[in-house]
Chains A and B, each alone.
Chain A
Amino acid sequence: MPDHVLAELEQEYARLADEIPDSPTRQAISVLHAMVMEVWRTVQREQLGGDGAGVDGRELTDLRDLFHTAPPMDQPAVTTPLEPGIQAPDFALPDPTGQLVRLSDHRGRPVVLVFYPLDWSPGCSQQLDLYQLELAEFRARGTELLAISVDSVYSHGAWAAMRGISFPLLADFHPKGEVVRRYSVWREQDGYSDRALYVVDGDGVIRYSTVSPRLDFVPDLDELLQAVDAAQAVRA
Chain B
Amino acid sequence: MITVYGRPGCAISQMIRRWLDRRGTPYQYVDVERNPQARSQLAWLTGGRVRSPTVVIGGDVLVQPTIEELEWALRRSRVGRSA
Contacts and interface: CB of A to CB of B under 8 A. Distances in A.
Q: Do A and B bind each other?
A: yes
Interface of A: 3-10, 13-14, 17, 26-27, 30-35, 37-38, 40-41, 44-45, 48, 68, 123, 126-127, 129-130, 133-134, 212, 214, 216-221
Given A33-B47, A212-B9, 10 more contacts: A3-B78, A7-B58, A14-B44, A31-B47, A31-B48, A33-B44, A45-B69, A126-B15, A133-B15, A214-B9
14 contacts: A3-B58, A3-B76, A4-B78, A6-B60, A7-B59, A7-B77, A30-B45, A30-B47, A30-B48, A44-B69, A48-B69, A130-B12, A218-B10, A221-B18
Given A7-B59, A14-B41, A133-B15, A35 B79 contact: no
A132 to B, nearest CB: 9
Interface residues of B, number: 35
Contacts, number: 106
A33 B78 contact: no
Nearest to B41: A17
B61 interface: yes
B15 A130 contact: yes
B12 A37 contact: no
B60 to A, nearest CB: 7
A10 B78 CA distance: 14
Given A37-B61, A130-B15, A17 B9 contact: no
6 A-B pairs with least C-beta separation:
A6-B59, A34-B47, A217-B9, A126-B11, A7-B58, A31-B47
